[in-house]
Structure 1
Amino acid sequence: MEFCDDCGSMMKAEDGLWVCSSCGNEQIKDPDADYVITDDQEASEVIESSPEDSGLPTTETHCPECGNDRAHWYMQQIRAADESETRFFICTECEHKWREDDH
């Protein structure tokens, strides 16, 4: 793996050169160095997911936007460590996002 001397981005190997995909800088590859060049990922290897496959758990709760009764949920610490986490919900129907805090 090589990095561009000008901008620091990762470079790609092309015809005996290292080419920066960000700024276009080219460097000659060292012929004595050992390099492993990997192929691009095949389109068949790409896994597409839908909102239903978010990997988040679901619960019964009322969406304030559309009235749906199912939502994905997760918890996140957004305040001080000595305060409770905040619960976030994402509606399974309209994808409206809201949160609940303990007060």
Structure 2
Amino acid sequence: MTSGRDCMFCPTTGALLKVDDLTGEATCPLSGWSRSLEDMNGYKVVSRTNMEEYRRRYDLEPLVKEVKREDAMLEQQGRARATVQETCPQCGAKEMSFYTRQLRSADEGQTIFIECMACTYKRQENS
């Protein structure tokens, strides 16, 4: 007797059977072997997976990676910044630094992060 999972595959090639409701058969696209859909009645197939399993199986990188706090701090320190002659609204310093990141979709402008070098006041603008 075959298990519920085995009934979905060709016993010759191991390929997934293609179900055709019009003919009432499940056919292997490689070998042509077929089985009546009536033979498959009563089978219940349950499959469970999670994202970690899926990524591992297909060797995928996550879209958003977790960053350790230490790594994030090192990244911020190494970020290239430019300066602009703008008065800080909090402490009155005459110069502020800024950097940009593409946070929204590619057809929209970048986000500009502006920070006071004296008091670390921060703000962001969308360009």
**Would the TM-score normalized by the shorter structure come out above 0.5?**
no
TM class by smaller structure: 0.3 to 0.5
Structure (1/2) with the larger strand percentage: 1
Using the size of structure 1 for normalisation, the TM-score is 0.42
The structure, 1 or 2, with the larger RCO (C-alpha pairs under 8 Å, 6+ apart) is 1
Structure (1/2) with the larger helix percentage: 2
Using the size of structure 2 for normalisation, the TM-score is 0.35
